[in-house]
């Protein structure tokens, strides 16, 4: 657990970046700091590894004050990922990943083999190990950044807007992979973003900060959407928070209807909707899986040209449909 | 031609002296500029005055420097130390700008992540900052090496000038061959030195020549 107690950062010119921030970041979960620019979220993050020194209050990790050991030792025990990855351009991918193990004095061969394992773990082709960062795409660089942060198996990983600079499709993939990775590794992750959607998607807990470094609300995302404490949080989580909250509704018993005649399937996989006598099929719209959120089911209904959202199994085969009336019924309940 | 054959030993001796007088200042200058440049990036208010001072020093006429240095240092007028000190001053004057620019060329996010993964200050400069600054520093190193090789000849005026002494010899005897030999050899020397530096740079920076990725693939 990382504990902030009345933590303040005041710059010599009098600007207060973080103002008496107190919160407890639970272990083995993802905690997201979110807020508009100037809210002190990055400053708060960077005070944890002392790349920014606070001017008041205490920060402790598992009960130990972070000022108890020297900053360099502290940092080697905390993974760190930033926007654009910040990879060392003069080192190969595998050497970048092996950075911290080497700093810790590991045996060279062990550092190298650990780095290779991590590349695979973050979904990178081992063939890329000998490349230089400039030869990688933004998404690949960011994966290397995550691998580097995890190389020495730290208990804590700090992530400062790591996915902000990549395109939306790649960002979505990286987010999914972070969640998948986290299910395996269970690190204490502190994640900074200005994107409330990202915060809600990734966070087990979300700390909403407002300009001037004040904590507005600290809660799990479902709670944040359902009960924003004040106008600032209400405004920040957005107008469509009701719709977003459906992300956290998982109707296990959403009644499916049998596949209609109009749905064209190929080996069980839905390929489109028949449109009268026309030979061209209409697009299928988005599909959802059994056990997906109500948001996914509603989206499938809204994007389908027939008003019927298609539900598929894990292999992508159609197993049934829901119509508007069914979703509306679940929404009412 | 027969003059060349008769004076191979002399030519060889002057060539060696020329190389020595040109290269030692480059090495000394590099050893001085790197820490100085680092200090200037650490205390950024120092950078511009240092670069300006470098400009002023570089604009000093070399002959004046060759003559003033013995008076200041108390060395003998015919000591090679005078040339070495003078050329070291020029080297630092030129190189300081490249070292500062080179260290500044390290991207902020790279420096930030170097600190965050746990590099101490000195370790970071040696392992991260300087290697990344190599291409910019080498640009200056190439200029200064060639400049030094040409400037050594000026030392002939005060009696120590490597191949430059072949010029004085030729002029005194009103005889062109030594002059031509001196010119050709100093050009060759400059060329070879530059080729070696380029090769060294390529060896040190394999990462600087890689191609950018084709397309964005996650």
Least Cα separation, residue B135 to chain A (angstroms)? 11
Q: Is the pLDDT of residue A41 over 90?
A: yes
pLDDT of residue B138: 96
Of A49, A73, A170, the CB nearest to B116: A49
Average pLDDT over residues A190-206: 94
Q: Which of A68-77, A204-213, B84-93, B162-171 has the lowest average pLDDT?
A: B162-171
Q: Grade residue B218 by pLDDT with cuts at 50, 70 and 90.
A: very low
pLDDT one-digit tens code per residue, B108-119: 999 999 999 999
Q: Do B116 and A91 touch (CB under 8 A)?
A: no
pLDDT of residue B211: 63
Highest mean pLDDT out of A6-20, A227-241, A287-301, B59-73: A6-20
pLDDT of residue B214: 52
pLDDT of residue A24: 95
- Does residue B1 sit at the A interface (CB-CB below 8 Å)? no
Give percent of chain B with pLDDT exceeding 70. Answer: 96
* A305 contacts A331 by C-beta, under 8 angstroms: no
Q: How far apart are CA A135 and CA A207, in angstroms?
A: 36
- Does residue A134 sit at the B interface (CB-CB below 8 Å)? yes
Q: Is the pLDDT of residue B215 over 60?
A: no
Q: How far apart are CA B55 and CA B62, in angstroms?
A: 14
Average pLDDT over residues A133-152: 94
Residues of chain B in contact with residue A49, where contact means CB-CB under 8 angstroms, are 116
Q: Grade residue A215 by pLDDT with cuts at 50, 70 and 90.
A: very high
Of B116, B117, B213, the CB nearest to A137: B213
Contacts (Cβ under 8 Å, ≥6 apart) of B100: B37, B40, B41, B47, B50, B51
pLDDT of residue B208: 87
pLDDT of residue A289: 85
Highest mean pLDDT out of A110-114, A307-311, B177-181, B210-214: A110-114
Map residue A107 onto helix, strand or coil: coil
pLDDT of residue B217: 45
Report CA Rg, chain A: 23
DSSP letters for A190-220: EEEES-HHHHHHH-SEEEEEETTTEEEEEE-
Average pLDDT over residues B33-43: 93
Backbone angles phi, psi at A18, to 5 degrees: -135, 130
Q: How far apart are CA B63 and CA B110, in angstroms?
A: 44
- Does residue A98 sit at the B interface (CB-CB below 8 Å)? no
Q: Is the pLDDT of residue A262 over 70?
A: yes
- Does residue B203 sit at the A interface (CB-CB below 8 Å)? no
Q: Do A51 and B116 touch (CB under 8 A)?
A: yes
Give percent of chain A with pLDDT exceeding 90. Answer: 60
pLDDT one-digit tens code per residue, A249-261: 877 778 888 888 8
**pLDDT, greater one: A331 or B90:** B90
Q: Do A90 and B118 touch (CB under 8 A)?
A: no
Give strand pairing partners of A193: A34
Task: Choose, out of A77, A90, A136, the residue to mutate when testing the contact with B (most B CBs < 10 Å).
Answer: A90
Q: Do A140 and B217 touch (CB under 8 A)?
A: yes
Q: Do B218 and A148 touch (CB under 8 A)?
A: no
pLDDT of residue A158: 96
> Cα–Cα distances in Å, from A285 out to A214, A273, A281?
42, 9, 12
Q: Do B216 and A138 touch (CB under 8 A)?
A: yes
Q: Is the pLDDT of residue B204 over 90?
A: yes
Average pLDDT over residues A17-22: 93
Residues of chain A in contact with residue B114, where contact means CB-CB under 8 angstroms, are 88
Q: Is the ipTM of this structure higher than 0.90?
A: no
Nearest CA in chain A to B123: A103
Which position has the token pair 């979220």?
A41
pLDDT of residue A2: 96
Average pLDDT over residues B10-37: 93
**pLDDT, greater one: A275 or A6:** A6
Least Cα separation, residue A11 to chain B (angstroms)? 19
Q: Grade residue A325 by pLDDT with cuts at 50, 70 and 90.
A: confident
Average pLDDT over residues A134-150: 94
Q: Grade residue B212 by pLDDT with cuts at 50, 70 and 90.
A: low
Q: Do B210 and A99 touch (CB under 8 A)?
A: no
Average pLDDT over residues A159-166: 92
Q: Which of A154-163, B3-12, B187-196 has the lowest average pLDDT?
A: B3-12
Q: Is the pLDDT of residue A241 over 80?
A: no
pLDDT of residue A79: 95
Backbone angles phi, psi at A38, to 5 degrees: 90, 5
Least Cα separation, residue B137 to chain A (angstroms)? 15
* A81 contacts A149 by C-beta, under 8 angstroms: yes
Segment A123-129 long-range contacts (CB within 8 Å, at least 24 positions apart): A123/A177, A124/A93, A128/A93, A129/A92, A129/A93, A129/A94
pLDDT of residue A324: 87
- Establish how many alpha carbons lie within 13 A of residue A166's alpha carbon, considering only the half-sphere containing its beta carbon: 26
pLDDT of residue A59: 96
Helix (H) / strand (E) element for A80: namely strand A78-82
Give percent of chain A with pLDDT exceeding 70. Answer: 100
Whole-structure pTM value:
0.81
The gap from C-alpha B38 to its chain's centroid, in whole angstroms, comes to 18
* A30 contacts A202 by C-beta, under 8 angstroms: yes
Q: Grade residue A216 by pLDDT with cuts at 50, 70 and 90.
A: very high
């Amino acid at each position: 657990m990382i504990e902030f107690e009345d933590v303040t950062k005041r710059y010599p010119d009098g600007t207060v970046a973080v103002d008496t921030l107190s919160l407890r970041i639970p272990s083995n979960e993802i905690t997201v700091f979110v807020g508009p620019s100037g809210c002190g979220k990055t400053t708060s993050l960077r005070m944890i590894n002392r790349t920014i020194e606070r001017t008041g209050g205490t920060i402790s990790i598992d009960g130990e004050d972070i000022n108890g050991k020297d900053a360099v030792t502290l940092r080697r025990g905390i993974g760190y990922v930033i926007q654009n990855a910040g990879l060392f351009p003069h080192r190969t991918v595998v050497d970048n990943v092996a950075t911290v193990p080497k700093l810790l004095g590991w045996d060279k061969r062990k550092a190298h083999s650990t780095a290779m394992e991590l590349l695979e773990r973050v979904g990178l082709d081992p063939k890329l190990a000998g490349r230089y960062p400039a030869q990688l795409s933004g998404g690949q660089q960011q994966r290397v950044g995550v691998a580097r942060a995890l190389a020495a198996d730290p208990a804590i990983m700090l992530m400062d807007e790591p996915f902000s600079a990549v395109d939306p499709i790649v960002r979505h993939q990286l987010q999914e992979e972070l969640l998948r990775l986290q299910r395996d590794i269970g690190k204490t992750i502190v994640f900074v973003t200005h994107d409330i959607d990202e915060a809600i998607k990734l966070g087990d807990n979300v700390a909403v900060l407002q300009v001037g470094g004040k904590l507005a609300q600290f809660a799990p995302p479902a709670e944040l959407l359902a009960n924003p404490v004040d106008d600032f949080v209400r405004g920040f989580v957005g107008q469509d928070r009701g719709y977003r909250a459906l992300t956290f509704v998982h109707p296990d018993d959403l009644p499916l209807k049998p596949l209609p005649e109009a749905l064209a399937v190929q080996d069980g996989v839905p390929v489109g909707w028949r449109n009268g006598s026309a030979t061209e099929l209409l697009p299928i719209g988005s599909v959802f899986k059994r056990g997906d959120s109500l948001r996914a089911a509603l989206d499938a209904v809204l994007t389908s040209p027939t008003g019927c959202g298609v539900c598929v199994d894990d292999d992508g085969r159609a197993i049934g449909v829901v119509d508007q009336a069914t979703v509306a019924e679940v929404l009412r309940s | 031609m027969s003059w060349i054959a008769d004076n191979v030993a002399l030519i060889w001796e002057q060539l060696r002296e020329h190389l020595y007088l040109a290269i030692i200042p480059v090495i000394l200058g590099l050893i001085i500029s790197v820490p100085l440049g680092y200090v200037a990036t650490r205390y950024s208010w120092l950078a511009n005055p240092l670069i300006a001072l470098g400009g002023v020093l570089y604009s000093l006429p070399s002959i004046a420097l060759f003559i003033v240095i013995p008076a200041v240092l108390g060395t003998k007028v015919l000591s090679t130390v005078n040339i070495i000190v003078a050329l070291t001053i020029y080297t630092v004057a030129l190189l300081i700008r490249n070292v500062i620019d080179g260290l500044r060329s390290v991207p902020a996010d790279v420096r930030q992540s170097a600190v965050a993964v746990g590099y101490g200050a000195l370790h970071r400069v040696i392992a991260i900052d300087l290697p990344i600054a190599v291409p910019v520093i080498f640009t200056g190193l190439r200029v200064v090496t060639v400049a030094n090789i040409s400037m050594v000849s000026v030392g002939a005026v005060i009696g120590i000038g490597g191949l430059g002494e072949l010029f004085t010899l030729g002029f005194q005897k009103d005889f062109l061959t030594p002059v031509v030999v001196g010119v050709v050899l100093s050009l060759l020397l400059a060329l070879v030195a530059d080729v070696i530096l380029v090769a060294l740079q390529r060896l040190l920076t394999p990462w600087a020549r890689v191609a950018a990725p084709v397309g964005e693939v996650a």
